[in-house]
Chain A
Amino acid sequence: MAVEFEVNEREVWDGNYAASQAMRQADVDVMAAYPITPSTPIVENYGAYVANGYVDGEFVMVESEHAAMSACIGASAAGGRVATATSSQGFALMVETLYQASGMRLPIVLNVVNRALASPLNVRGDHADMYLGRDSGWIQFGAFNAQEAYDLALCAFKVAENHAVRLPVMIHQDGFITSHTAQNVYPLSNEDAIKFVGEIVPVDDMLDFSRPVTYGAQTEEDWHFEHKAKQHKALMDSMSIIDDVFAEFKKVSGREYKRVESYDMEDAEVCVIGLGTTVESARVAAKEMRKEGVKAGVVAIRCFRPFPYEEVREALRNCKSIAVTDRSSPGGAMGAFYNEVAAAMMTSQSRPLVTNYIYGLGGRDISIENLKTIFREQKANADAGYITTDIQQFTNLRGPKLGFCKTERN
């Protein structure tokens, strides 16, 4: 029996520590991990909890992130509650096995502390690794601060292990900005946390020798398509279960989460839609813009996969000009997030103006002033009735202004 680890009602934790506490409280059976900056403390702390008897789980040391996720796959198929953490290149090395995990419908929880992908080498945060996972068949939650990294980690187990879902879940937090920034965190008591997450009820666990099963079978053209279609449908259908889990979490914590969050959007004419910590900075900027008489609001994606097209459309319904912020190098296209929001709005009645801002790569700062400039440009667009700038622009980049693509106008 594990030794009780004392948590206070109010703690000052960084995102990594908060996530590791959620792993401890969720009573993870197996964590297989290969540490990488900036997510290292999550698995390091969990290892210490195991060594000090605060959890009954197993910590498996492996030789790479590929092996870490492979071990997680094995442990999850065996029927355990399984979690790990990674970032950046480690995430990239995991990619093959991410697809294996989701294809086998294994409810693994992965804490991703977002970090730029080399080259050039950089330990700081952007969303390149998060985007790399977006077609992998995992559910992806986004935390905007340390509290949310903790809360969403608890929710992740409950969603993943739900028998109607049976899909792996990632919780993303911004490298350093969340992972290494200490803020007030209000954790659940150990008792409430485990009561909320509940016990894992395995499905087709390989350790059930009376009922042998195969994982990761070969299908070729006969059945591959049907499997993938079913997996996609499971992802799309998980939305309502995610909503249920968030509702249940609100009951125990008082904190409310939605797959799409809206701030100051009731009468907003212009808005920034974003991911990660920038959402919160944008809220500060929107409040300041309102003092300048601009009806500004912020929309945020809590659940990046499955992508909430309908909720995004609903949230942006009355907006005239929208800035979609991508914190990942777009690699010869509009930002991926831009494309998704633009696709959602293309099928709306209002067809608002949608612009793309690339920002914050490799941890480059985004200040309240930077965000206010973005809001001001949206206001100019809304007043003019067309996009007055390049459709894609780079924010807070050194050197000459960089932008691409103009609106087609008669």
Chain B
Amino acid sequence: MTEIRWHSRAGQGAVSGAKGLGDVVATTGKEVQAFALYGSAKRGAALRAYNRISDEQIFDHAKFMRPDYVLVIDPALAMTDDITMNDKETTKYIITSHLSKDEVIESIPALQDKKERVYVVDCVQISLDTIKRSMPNSPMLGAFCKISGMFELDYFLENMKRVLAKFPQKIIDANMEAITRAYNEVK
């Protein structure tokens, strides 16, 4: 079982990101789960979204999770939310930030002993450049693809196109570009 926790603000697309990831993963024949925890849903409020991925049917319905990956798609939440909560010695962190990797690690005390498991990518800027608005969920999927090694980029892009099929071609293309850039830029 692979478990993923997203830290995000309502409106940044973590719920769609988690569901989109679930959709793509399901095409590989795996079983998936995607859910979110939020209070009264207000744009900008901190929320957490979750994925479980397994070769077998997923029976665990608990919110409690010890994540294998923590995906932070809001730069400020990396500093203010408890992103290392319930983590493991192998948990990998992918954090969106305009800061360098060293600067990010330096500014988050909880990451000091996990430096080699921290990856940084500027999903906000990438989405501003490609999708033309701050929508850091898509690029985060590209970064996750790279760090987890779960999929080849091309395979992921092909399946994401299907997930996004209801959108205009322009938006699909922008998302593909965002995913590809984050895949290549995550450090």
Q: A12-B22, A12-B26, A283-B59 are in contact. Are A180 and B35 (CB under 8 A)?
A: yes
B5 nearest CB across to chain A (Å): 14
A366 touches B26 (CB 8 A): no
B interface, how many residues as a size bin? Answer: 20 to 34
B126 within 8 A of A: no
B62 touches A182 (CB 8 A): no
B157 nearest CB across to chain A (Å): 18
A interface, how many residues as a size bin? Answer: 20 to 34
8 contacts between A and B (CB under 8 A): A174-B61, A180-B35, A180-B36, A183-B32, A280-B59, A280-B60, A281-B62, A284-B59
Task: Note all chain A residues with C-beta closer than 8 A to B23.
Answer: 12, 182
Given contacts A181-B33, A365-B63, 7 further A-B contacts (CB under 8 A): A10-B27, A12-B22, A176-B35, A177-B35, A183-B34, A184-B57, A281-B59
Which residues of chain B from 21 to 47 have any CB-CB distance to chain A below 8 Å in the complex?
A: 22-23, 26-27, 31-36, 40
Task: Note all chain A residues with C-beta closer than 8 A to B36.
Answer: 180
Task: Give residues in A with beta carbon < 8 Å to B.
Answer: 10, 12, 123, 145, 174, 176-178, 180-184, 277-278, 280-281, 283-284, 365-369
A153 nearest CB across to chain B (Å): 19
Which B residue's beta carbon lies closest to that of A276? B61
B62 touches A183 (CB 8 A): no
Task: Note all chain A residues with C-beta closer than 8 A to B35.
Answer: 176-177, 180-182
B59 touches A12 (CB 8 A): no
Task: Note all chain B residues with C-beta closer than 8 A to A181.
Answer: 33-35, 61
A182 touches B34 (CB 8 A): yes
B184 nearest CB across to chain A (Å): 27
B62 touches A368 (CB 8 A): yes
Task: Note all chain B residues with C-beta closer than 8 A to A365.
Answer: 62-64
Task: Note all chain B residues with C-beta closer than 8 A to A277.
Answer: 61
Partner of A367, one of B32, B40, B62: B62
